[in-house]
Amino acid sequence: MPSRLTQTCLPLLGLCATLCWGSAPALAAADKALVSNVRFATLRPPDGSTDNWLEMAVEIDAQPAANTTGRVTGRVRVTAMLGYERPAPGNTRQWQFFRAQAELVGLVSGRTHVRFYLPPEIVRRDALAGAPGYWDVTVTGESLESETVIGRRSPTLEADEVYRGFRDKVASEGTANDGVMQPQYLTPFREAYPRATPTFVRREAWR
């Protein structure tokens, strides 16, 4: 009798283990994103001002994982860095470095545009027009594929040594210009592109 009871209990214990712990979970599929293009332009804001701003428009193509609810990625952070050569006294040239970040609630499937701006005072002071000599943009997020860096850089930064030097310069000298380069929602262009503007995470919404 005891042996028959033991034989009956063993399958039940196996069933209990399956219900309690289940099988090993499959690895979650990662969201995918690609910086497909970066454009620079000087333009006037829609508020009627006659002063030009410099716009950096970053095109991101997103492909949320197939099992993602609503086909929207997790939060992502877009980081932009610029290096401009400006006129200086004595017929010399100086480099100015700028950096800015924007955090997005998520990327919907398809194309999204993330824009950053340099204000008119900088455009006028540094005689800015068009793309800078050096620029770099990266996209990061916990739900994104981590095998490769998601980003795009200027042709002048193709060499790894030059790229590392540029990032070091931005880290050491870009602090002097922190807050000057701004994401779209902090500028007069915040409502300029209603169909192509993502939703930004605003920390001031909860303090």
Of 159 and 94, the one with more pLDDT: 159
Question: Count H helices, E strands: the chain?
Answer: 3, 8
Q: What is the pLDDT of residues 154-199, one digit of tens each?
A: 999 999 999 999 999 999 999 999 999 999 999 999 999 988 789 9
Q: Identify the band that residue 96 occupies on the pLDDT scale cut at 50, 70 and 90.
A: very high
Confidence at residue 28, expressed as pLDDT on a 0 to 100 scale: 62
Confidence at residue 17, expressed as pLDDT on a 0 to 100 scale: 45
Mean pLDDT of the region 134-139: 96
With a cut of 80, say whether residue 137 has pLDDT above it.
yes
How much of the chain exceeds pLDDT 70, in percent? 84
β-pair type (92-104, 110-118): unpaired
Task: Name the residue ranges covered by the structural domains of the chain.
Answer: 32-202
With a cut of 70, say whether residue 85 has pLDDT above it.
yes
Average pLDDT, the chain: 85
Confidence at residue 15, expressed as pLDDT on a 0 to 100 scale: 43
Read off the pTM.
0.82
Distance, CA of 8 to CA of 84 (rounded, Å): 78
Q: Identify the band that residue 147 occupies on the pLDDT scale cut at 50, 70 and 90.
A: low
Distance, CA of 101 to CA of 81 (rounded, Å): 9
CATH C-level class of 32-202: mainly beta
**Mean pLDDT lowest among 109-113, 133-137, 194-198:** 194-198
Calculate ∠ Cα 186-79-75, nearest 5°. Answer: 85
The encoded tokens of residue 22 equal 């289940």
Q: What is the pLDDT of residues 11-38, one digit of tens each?
A: 544 544 444 445 444 456 788 899 999 9
